[in-house]
Amino acid sequence: TRTMLNDGFVVTSTDASKAMCALARETFGVKPTCERFEDLDAVCEYDGIWACASLLHVEKRKLPAVLKKAHDALRENGVFYMSFKYGCFEGKRGGRWYTNLDETAAVELVGFGFGIVEIWVTGDVRPGRAGERWLNCLLRKR
């Protein structure tokens, strides 16, 4: 949020965590929407959606409906970024749901309404996580 605001973007912050929304209010002075991607009901409202490491907590079978909601929320030619832990795992870890994706699964998932701008893999930059990889997807609404 801070980076995007500093770069002059108009930002609508959204998070499913009430604590994260409270932190965004206190830290950035924004009024975040506390909701899950599954609850998004905007239509042609955004030029871009940044879903960094957030959709990985959605069950794979529910991802097509969530992506449809993101697609509907974007204006024509809108850009959508999403990232997942890299791999094929799906299930609970530490009490939270995780859906990992690889390139093949991502391409299959975004087959409707989005054009793929780029898909790439990066390493985790957090201390102690050098072995973890992330799948990054940059999409454009068709």
- Overall average pLDDT of the 7-26 stretch: 92
pLDDT tens-place string over residues 106-138: 999 997 789 999 999 999 999 999 889 999 999
Res. 53: pLDDT tops 90: yes
Report for 3-7, 30-34, 62-66: range of highest mean pLDDT: 62-66
Phi, psi of 93 (to 5 degrees): -135, 125
Phi, psi of 24 (to 5 degrees): -65, -40
Long-range contacts of 30-33 (CB under 8 A, 24+ apart): 30/1, 30/5
pTM: 0.91
- Overall average pLDDT of the 56-62 stretch: 96
pLDDT tens-place string over residues 79-92: 999 999 999 999 99
Give Dmax (Cα) for the chain: 40
